[in-house]
Amino acid sequence: MRTLLVVLADDLTTTAGTLKLYTAQGVRTVVHSQNENVRNQAAELGVTHVETEDPYDLIEKYEPQVVVCDYNGPLRATKLAVYRTGIPQKLYLTATEGATSISVGASADQKQWEHYFRDLDRTNAPLPETDLFAGL
């Protein structure tokens, strides 16, 4: 099962569209946050699992292929968990622009994008990407 783990601190806006998109595609989505507002917003988006456990434990529990961490999130702990477990194939960090841009919605006038910096890729997927699961 395709699984996406998103680790956030106190803001969901940089990943809300991505979470909604992948949840709608049937991807098992997991959000880690200690912030109750973020957890409530994630649940409203349809996120399948909203957790407060340590990122390391969540990686072992859900075995996500892709992990996204917000720069304001527990970045060091998340990166350490990704590298130590060896489970995720890809790690992305939120960005204002980057080589990975996900179209998260469209209107008559313009598309809305969320951007990521690919920090780890064990699949060697070519850049630029338009899908966090490219190469998997």
pLDDT in tens, 9-64: 988 888 999 999 999 999 999 999 999 999 999 999 999 899 999 999 999 999 99
* Residue 105 backbone dihedrals phi, psi, to 5 degrees: 165, 160
pLDDT of residue 108 exceeding 60, the answer is no
Burial (Cβ within 10 Å: 0-12, 13-18, ≥19) of residue 42: buried
Task: Name the residue ranges covered by the structural domains of the chain.
Answer: 3-121
pLDDT at 113: 86
Give 98's pLDDT tier (boundaries 50, 70, 90). Answer: confident
pLDDT at 105: 73
pLDDT of residue 73 exceeding 90, the answer is no
Does domain 3-121 sit in CATH 3.40.640.10?
no
Kindly report the pTM of this predicted structure.
Answer: 0.93
- What gap in Å lies between CA 136 and CA 132, rounded to an integer? 9
Q: Which residues pair with 49 in a beta bridge?
A: 30
pLDDT of residue 111 exceeding 70, the answer is no
Angle of CA points 119, 122, 125, to nearest 5°: 85
3-state DSSP assignment of residue 82:
helix
Percent of the chain whose pLDDT exceeds 70: 96
| Distances 10 to 7, 41, 47, 59, 123 between C-alpha atoms, Å | 10, 11, 16, 20, 30
